């Protein structure tokens, strides 16, 4: 929290100083990035500016819109030694701002999680009625897109797969296809929907899994995957690596 407050103040200072300089000179300063020192100076300003832009946008998203004119005025007054708030008061009000934003963020996350849960339940109910969709006892839903002729993995196996993951609205949050590189993992180290689902697949198969939130990431908010998200995966099981290792040993 202290680091966030510090960065916010630095960023505000940079913006205010830039505005003051431009007003005094009545025209934009020519940007020269010919030397490494010039690039470093510009890089510091750009980095702090990017931080402040995102920080202000995030706060605005929670209904907290800060007056940028006052932000710049605060810098000017402090630079002139005429700040209207002392350091103790500044810490107090910025701490209160941080607390308020955190509370608003928590409330929004809670509301979004409840919405995601309701929408996910409806999606699962509708999807379960589609031809070719099977629902397991746990609530996992799967559809066979193509069937291979290899063995099915055990929970203790290491598997190699290609996959694409989306939210129920079609938003893609991860894809090994996009990276053009399959991924390998122990089957007992992933979300339970994957652990259960991949054991149904013979090597060489491609399945579509619709995974309820409780078999995925549950109430955790992972950014790209919001809390209580129902997930949709297309997965190709390429090989069982433990089996490959045993064959090589023999």
CATH number for the domain spanning 20: value is 1.10.287
Q: What pLDDT is recorded for position 147?
A: 96
Q: What pLDDT is recorded for position 29?
A: 65
Q: What pLDDT is recorded for position 181?
A: 95
Cα angle 237-132-233, degrees, rounded to a multiple of 5: 40
Of 75, 123, 142, 163, which is the active-site residue?
A: 163
Q: What is the pLDDT of residues 176-213, one digit of tens each?
A: 999 999 999 999 999 999 999 999 999 999 999 999 99
Q: 242 near 157, Cβ under 8 Å?
A: yes
Q: Is 217 a catalytic residue?
A: yes
**Average confidence score pLDDT of the chain:** 85
In a domain, 177, yes or no: yes
Q: Residue for token digits 């290491």?
A: 158
Q: How confident is the model at residue 250 (pLDDT cuts 50, 70, 90)?
A: very low
**Do 72 and 147 belong together in one domain?**
no
Q: Is 233 a catalytic residue?
A: yes
Q: Is 174 a catalytic residue?
A: yes
Q: What pLDDT is recorded for position 21?
A: 46
CATH classification at residue 132: 3.10.50.40
Structural domain containing residue 54: 2-84
Q: How confident is the model at residue 75 (pLDDT cuts 50, 70, 90)?
A: low
In a domain, 159, yes or no: yes
**Do 64 and 134 belong together in one domain?**
no
pLDDT of 16 strictly over 90: no
Strands (E), the chain: 133-135, 141-146, 158-167, 172-175, 183-186, 206-211, 231-240
Q: Residue for token digits 């300089």?
A: 21
**Do 7 and 77 belong together in one domain?**
yes
**Do 49 and 154 belong together in one domain?**
no
Averaged pLDDT, 220-245: 88
Q: What pLDDT is recorded for position 28?
A: 60
Q: What pLDDT is recorded for position 166?
A: 97
Of 75, 123, 142, 233, which is the active-site residue?
A: 233
Tell me how many helices (H) and strands (E) the chain has.
7, 7
**Do 133 and 60 belong together in one domain?**
no
180-186 long-range contacts, Cβ below 8 Å, gap at least 24? 182/238, 184/158, 184/159, 184/160, 184/241, 185/158, 185/159, 186/156, 186/157, 186/158
Q: Is 173 a catalytic residue?
A: yes
Q: What pLDDT is recorded for position 23?
A: 46
Q: 83 near 46, Cβ under 8 Å?
A: no
Phi/psi at 199 (nearest 5 deg)? -70, -15
Q: What is the pLDDT of residues 83-140, one digit of tens each?
A: 888 889 989 998 999 999 899 988 888 999 999 999 999 999 999 999 999 999 999 9
Q: What pLDDT is recorded for position 242?
A: 64
Q: What is the pLDDT of residues 19-74, one digit of tens each?
A: 444 444 445 667 888 899 989 988 987 887 788 778 888 888 888 888 878 877 87
Phi/psi at 228 (nearest 5 deg)? 60, 30
In a domain, 135, yes or no: yes
pLDDT of 18 strictly over 60: no
In a domain, 102, yes or no: no
Q: Is 191 a catalytic residue?
A: yes
In a domain, 47, yes or no: yes
Out of 61, 84, 107, pick the residue that ends a domain: 84
Q: What pLDDT is recorded for position 49?
A: 74
Of 51, 90, 112, 173, which is the active-site residue?
A: 173
Q: What pLDDT is recorded for position 19?
A: 47
pLDDT of 168 strictly over 90: yes
Of 77, 112, 174, 221, which is the active-site residue?
A: 174
In a domain, 108, yes or no: no
**Do 154 and 236 belong together in one domain?**
yes
Cα angle 78-83-87, degrees, rounded to a multiple of 5: 90
What is the C-alpha to C-alpha distance for residues 15 and 68, in angstroms, rounded to an integer? Answer: 9
For residue 231, list its beta bridge partners: 167, 211
Of 209, 217, 225, 240, which is the active-site residue?
A: 217
| Structural domains of the chain, count | 2
**Do 47 and 162 belong together in one domain?**
no
Q: Is 55 a catalytic residue?
A: no
**Do 245 and 127 belong together in one domain?**
yes
Out of 84, 108, 136, pick the residue that ends a domain: 84
**Do 11 and 65 belong together in one domain?**
yes
**Do 32 and 130 belong together in one domain?**
no
**Do 64 and 176 belong together in one domain?**
no
């Amino acid at each position: 929290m202290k680091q966030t407050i510090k960065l916010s103040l630095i960023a505000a200072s940079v913006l205010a100083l830039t505005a003051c300089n431009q007003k005094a000179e009545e025209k934009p300063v020519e940007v020269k990035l010919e030397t490494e020192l010039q690039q470093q100076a510009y890089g510091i300003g750009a980095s702090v500016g990017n931080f402040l832009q995102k920080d202000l946008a995030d706060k605005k998203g929670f209904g907290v819109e800060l007056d940028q004119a006052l932000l710049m005025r605060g810098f000017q007054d402090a630079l002139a030694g005429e700040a209207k708030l002392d350091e103790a008061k500044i810490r107090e009000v910025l701490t209160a701002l941080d607390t308020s934003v955190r509370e608003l963020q928590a409330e929004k996350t809670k509301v979004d999680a409840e919405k995601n849960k309701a929408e996910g339940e409806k999606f699962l109910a509708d999807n379960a009625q589609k031809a070719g969709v099977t629902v397991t006892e746990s609530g996992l839903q799967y559809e066979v897109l193509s069937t291979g002729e290899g063995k099915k993995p055990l929970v203790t196996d290491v598997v190699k797969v290609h996959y694409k993951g989306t939210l129920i609205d079609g938003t893609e949050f991860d894809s090994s296809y996009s990276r053009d590189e399959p991924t390998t993992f122990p089957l007992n180290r992933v979300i339970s929907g994957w652990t259960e689902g991949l054991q149904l697949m013979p090597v060489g198969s491609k399945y579509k899994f619709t995974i309820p939130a409780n078999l995925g990431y549950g109430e955790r908010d992972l950014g790209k995957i919001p809390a209580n998200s129902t997930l949709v995966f297309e997965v190709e099981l390429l090989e069982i690596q433990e089996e490959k290792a045993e064959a090589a040993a023999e």
